[in-house]
Chains A and B, each alone.
Chain A
Amino acid sequence: MFPFSVLVGKAVRRISRLRGGGSALPGLVVEKIDPGFMGRALTGLPHGVVVISGTNGKTTTTKMVVELLQGQGLTVFTNRTGSNFTRGVAAALLGEVNWRGRLKADIAVLELDEAHAVHFVKLVPPTHCLLLNVLRDQLDRFGEIDQTTRLLEQIAAKTTGTVVLNREDPRVAGIASTVHDAEITYFGLDASLRSTFPNDDELRGDIGVAPPSSLPADVILEHVDGNTAMFLTDGESTSVDLRLRGVYNIFNAAAALAMARTVLGGAINRAALFASLATVEPAFGRGESLVVDGKPLELVLVKNPSGFRLGLKSFDAAGYATMIAINDNYADGRDMSWLWDVDFDSLGLAGVDMVSGVRAYDMALRLKYDDVDVRAVEPDTTAALKAFISATHDQPKRIFCTYTAMLAVRRDLSKITTVEVVS
């Protein structure tokens, strides 16, 4: 035990907070002076360490798993949105450990980006991992999606207890054959919902969808009607009214249920589990609803073709004014090719009121080729948001944006309405 590093880390954390700095610096400091800090703090938790990774839905799924386990009476340590890398976990830990570096929690549930998760599991082998999907996202960073699958395999290989897999994603389901020591559990979809969730090979509109998987699943999403979802567990169907919006968030709920059931096994309280699920609010930018001029304004984060497609599918354009903001900063991915893998036909009837972001003209050009009417283009997000709100003040609004465009839009919105600040 070397409490000195914890004290230093905590001090750096306090100072960087006072200066309004980012959350990563204290994590960096403690990693440098005490590389074993994270492993010591996280090993020996009574219910272990859960790692959640995959391309889409990590944040929402992690939030759900945390709240489901809290609903079962567990004290849960988690990393906050936007810090899904190892250093972010170390920084978050510094805020929670006592001066001896001990964490007072029953379990840690951590969202980790694929590449950072591989680094993390080498330091701290997880007891459980939940692997959601492998989709085209930031190929300029990871190269190819087959490469991303290799990263997830490494996470599964280090897992000591149970690996929870999406049986509907052939790349993720295939990871099972590479796992030797851990148990495997699946979550999945009823055959009737299969076509709603195209995997990466099925992004092209005209191509058919593969037959449903026949692997046994612990939790199956059976039916979705608006915000009401039906889950099949232990041969029993349960209907839940959710606050989460968007059909892809609801599939993530099946993933979260499977993870919670895996962690607690027979000790789980079924009624409490579904009651907790019903109260989960959407995470940052995953269909959050704000109020502007007395009308709802929804923010939908889009960062890859499948996410954008599902976003368009989940949120009906009818009656809404629409803005789209596309940036190509490092965190968004610089390659614009992905916009051409999304069909925008669903926006054709109502058109798009404003297109913004660094790559506003790439987006406007994309919409032109789908015959979608664009009423205004303004690359500057501040000017665009202002114009969008004043032009559509009497309508409900929806803004689809990439990650850094979302941060910019939220910053501007926080000046006129209540927005949860995420640092």
Chain B
Amino acid sequence: MSETQYELNVGLEVHVELATASKMFCRCKTKFGDPPNTNVCPVCMGLPGALPVANEEAVRLGVMAALALNCRVNLSSRFDRKNYFYPDLPKAYQISQFEEPLAVSGYVELASGKRIRIRRLHLEEDAGKSMHAGDDITTASYSLLDYNRSGVPLAEIVSEPDISSPEEAREYLEKMQRTLRFAGVSDVKMEEGSMRVDCNVSVRRKGEAQMGVPVELKNLSSFRAVTRALAYEYDRQSRLIEQGKRIARETRHWDEDKGVTVSLRAKESSQDYRYFPDPDLPRLELDEAFIESVQRAMPRLPNQVVDFYVNVLGLPKYDAEVLTVDPNLVKFFDRCVELGGEPKPVSNWLMGDIMAYMNAKGLSYDTIPVTPENLVAMLGLIKDGVISGKIAKDVLIKMFETGKAPGDIVKEEGLEQVSDDASLSVIVDSVIAANPEVVAQFKAGKDKVLGFLVGQVMKASKGRANPAKVNIMLREKILS
């Protein structure tokens, strides 16, 4: 089987939880991680007689997401009922937009310039959460239900099957995640379930006009899972075609541990959701002025920020891409620059020691352990020669741990560079006295050995000596 003989076509359905304080159709809290069944009411428990009332902020965030993803927002859209039975779905229908979605025709642009088209973006409510008591889904004798998530607002974003490799899928998801995070519409955290991805995968022979049979993949809980599952499916499906076998239209479950997909249910007996317009909810009517106001309130999106960093601040493209991984990082960086920090050194420290520390501690960018003010102050100390770059690394660790200003740390710990002539002179003299052979070599014109002597002075001063000054003083003392 030749690798290049087959073509992969993937469409992604992404659900993101909108960052509202209350639910889509009731005013229960949406807070993640609250004790089970504490954020529920007659509406989101589907009690008889309760009625839905839509959340204005969810609509605003939905529009914001749509605009950020280059979609066209429909001025008039509608909520339908999607009817199916499942214990985590309290009303036995999900309120969703089927016939007339909030927005259509958007795209995400990949680094290659290729655009992955977005077919539609619509609003809907989330279901509750069911857990299976006992070992796993196959041996548990009952399921446990938590309805805190029931009714949390979601935007569902459906792409066209334009994605043609696992890497493109990953890039699409990362770009979308960044964009939505910058737009402030969602946390977009896969690990907390505020971003969920389903794939529709098909494979066909290259050049074939007809799309392959779509297979739906579920249980993809990380970007890595998405790329692995897609790679697996590409192999599986192209092998089946190669063998002349039929690909079943089905839903498959990604088994993260075994690294395989397994058939969950046939799609032939596809569910009949009996969609119809929800009679409790009149049409969602928006006007141009509202959409313009959302557009005006749109925060800068990652590609705009990258452009600015490269073209105005003169950062390398690489730095700009790394810094725009998260809006909080961008905010931090921008503030540093605003406070007079030089862009490149700020970027270096952020991408270097700060990120390393945060990764080690597992911190997220909403809790950067130093303030922009303190980082800029530290850079100033380096620039003014108060501390060396090397000492600064230690000062930074102290700043992480104590939250103190760098100036205070330097003072308390006595870390200032030794620049005054008297103290330096004593150390330099002792180094000259201790290394007569090296001094002789230098005198004989072997310029390179000076570095060794400077190192010895630095060592003796525990790194606090000002290297430039040491250099000059050594020369003067040996040669005079």
Is B truly associated with A?
no
Q: What residues of chain B have their CB less than 8 Å away from a CB belonging to chain A? A: none
Question: Which residues of A pack against B, CB within 8 Å?
Answer: none
